[in-house]
């Protein structure tokens, strides 16, 4: 069997280092795993040997024939990448795919060393990569990899084309509403949102294009432990400025119906949840380990929300993003700028209560939503078999909680109401994550925990 070597190369480009928040390609984080961990998963039955320089092959390789690929080789389609690497291992001649900084090679190890160190191309057959392979030495391809790396659901697809991203969706109605919102942003708010162009509708999907920004989303910064207290403080200041500017809704026609929409959405999502195939086992789990059924938990949320309807309605409505979670906020602490992506839509001309956006922020900050959907949380059981979620690996973010509390206080919002809506969000999102039973159980459990924290 051919020995397989992973060339753990450094990132040379400062621009890519900054964007990927890493000095090595292998350590770039995709969701809850690094690139190297995902590569190892491709070869479950084989030992993947790691080298840091080509010369290590002289010491490590017991055979002259080797398969070597650099850490800068990756793909969003890991199944196709796996097939390609296995296909490469059957090459009968010295074959080199890619270029010196991003390559897959099968053949005589001495020929590879000679080419990489002395630039000698003798007796090597050079081939281009197949289209699904990403060259992570290219900033646009690194951005393509990371732009949609956190729990993207199956009906969305994002591709990089030059200086633009093309977003496609099977849900044409939702995508058109999203595009209309972004296209009709009032002038005084345009600097907060991604710029979009040209909506197209095909037979089975729709798409629009948007400007590609060299910013990471806050979820990626958070999950890679790259949010500092200073950067989080900047983020909260920018969010505050956005909320203040978004209050200027004069000349926009709208209805103050956000509360009714929230209550009715919770009811509709509960009915959808009851259609999930494992609903009964989820309900039994909650009863056994938290002492309450899903239905009763839903009712107590609705009851407490209804008590606070006047508080919800008395605030000034805003031009609302509608889904202000970490993954929808592109952020550059250096440029003191945010760009908001993937809004909820253009219903009611994009005007909603700010409480919904604040609850979305809270579900990333206090709710640890990003950790849950990226499988970075464990369930703990005490001696009485009461269950709780363990977020201890990310305790560092708790040091920033007060900055969000200060923002809520400065804007005169009711924190209890925000967290009640947050609790309802965790419950209502379960049908959207029905394909992953583990996530669904954790989302449900987190909804109960938040309610019981109040």
Render pLDDT for 395-406 as a digit per residue (tens, 0 to 9). 777 778 899 999
The confidence band for 434, taking pLDDT boundaries of 50, 70 and 90, is confident
- Report how far apart the first and last C-alpha atoms of the chain are (Å, whole number): 59
Mean pLDDT of the chain: 89
Model-level pTM?
0.77
The pLDDT value given to residue 145: 82
DSSP state, residue 159: E
Q: Which of 424, 57, 374 is closest to 222 using CA atoms?
A: 374
Tokens of 323: 């889904």
The pLDDT value given to residue 147: 63
Helices vs. strands in the chain: H and E counts, helices first: 18, 21
The pLDDT value given to residue 157: 66
Instruction: Report yes or no: 207 and 200 within 8 Å, Cβ to Cβ.
Output: yes
Per-residue pLDDT tens over the stretch 305-353: 999 999 999 998 999 999 999 999 999 998 999 999 999 989 889 999 9
Q: Which of 356, 351, 335, 411 is closest to 185 using CA atoms?
A: 351
Percent of the chain with pLDDT strictly greater than 70: 96
The pLDDT value given to residue 126: 94
Domains parsed from the chain with CATH numbers: 3-136 (3.90.550.10), 140-211 (3.30.200.20), 216-453 (3.90.1200.10)
Res. 300: pLDDT tops 70: yes
Number of C-alpha atoms within 13 angstroms, CB side, residue 143?
22
Res. 47: pLDDT tops 80: no
Per-residue pLDDT tens over the stretch 357-391: 999 999 999 999 988 988 888 889 888 888 889 88
Q: What is the average per-residue pLDDT within 409-422?
A: 96
């Amino acid at each position: 069997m051919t020995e397989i070597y992973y060339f753990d190369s450094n990132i040379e480009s400062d621009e890519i280092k900054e964007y990927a928040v890493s000095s090595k390609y292998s350590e770039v984080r995709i969701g809850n795993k690094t690139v190297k961990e995902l590569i190892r998963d491709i070869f479950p039955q084989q030992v993947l040997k790691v080298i840091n320089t080509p010369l290590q092959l002289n010491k490590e390789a017991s055979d002259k024939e080797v398969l070597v690929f650099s850490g800068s080789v990756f793909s969003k389609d890991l199944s196709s990448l796996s097939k390609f690497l296995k296909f490469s291992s059957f090459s009968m001649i010295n074959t080199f795919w890619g270029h010196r900084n991003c390559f897959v090679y099968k053949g005589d190890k001495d020929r590879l060393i000679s080419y990489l160190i002395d630039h000698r191309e003798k007796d090597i057959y050079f081939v281009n990569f197949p289209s699904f392979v990403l060259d992570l030495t290219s900033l646009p391809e690194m951005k393509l990899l990371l732009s949609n790396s956190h729990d993207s659901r199956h009906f969305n697809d994002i591709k990089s084309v030059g200086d633009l991203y093309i977003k496609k969706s099977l849900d044409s109605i939702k995508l058109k509403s999203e595009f209309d919102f972004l296209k009709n942003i009032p002038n005084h708010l345009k600097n907060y949102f991604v710029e979009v162009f040209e909506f197209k509708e095909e037979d089975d999907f729709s798409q629009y294009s948007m400007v590609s920004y060299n910013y990471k989303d806050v979820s990626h910064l958070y999950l890679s432990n790259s949010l500092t207290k200073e950067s989080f403080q900047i983020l909260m200041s920018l969010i505050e400025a956005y909320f203040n500017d978004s209050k200027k809704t004069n000349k926009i026609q709208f209805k103050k119906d956000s509360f009714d929409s929230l209550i009715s959405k919770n009811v509709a999502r509960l009915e959808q949840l009851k259609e999930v195939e494992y609903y009964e086992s989820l309900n039994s789990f909650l009863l056994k380990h938290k002492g309450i059924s899903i239905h009763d938990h839903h009712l107590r949320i609705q009851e407490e929300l209804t008590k606070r309807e006047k508080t919800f309605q008395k605030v000034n409505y805003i031009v609302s993003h509608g889904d202000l979670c970490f993954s929808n906020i592109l952020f550059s602490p250096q440029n003191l700028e945010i760009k908001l992506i993937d809004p909820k839509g253009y219903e009611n001309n994009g005007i909603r209560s700010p409480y919904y956006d604040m609850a979305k922020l809270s579900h990333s900050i206090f709710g640890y939503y990003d950790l849950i959907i990226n499988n970075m949380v464990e369930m703990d059981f005490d001696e009485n078999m009461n269950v709780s979620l363990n977020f201890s690996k990310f305790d560092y973010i708790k040091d920033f909680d007060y900055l969000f509390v200060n923002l809520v206080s400065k804007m005169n919002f009711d924190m209890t109401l925000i967290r009640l809506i947050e609790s309802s969000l965790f419950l209502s999102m379960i049908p959207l994550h029905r394909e992953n039973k583990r996530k669904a159980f954790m989302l449900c459990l987190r909804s109960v925990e938040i309610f019981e924290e109040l």
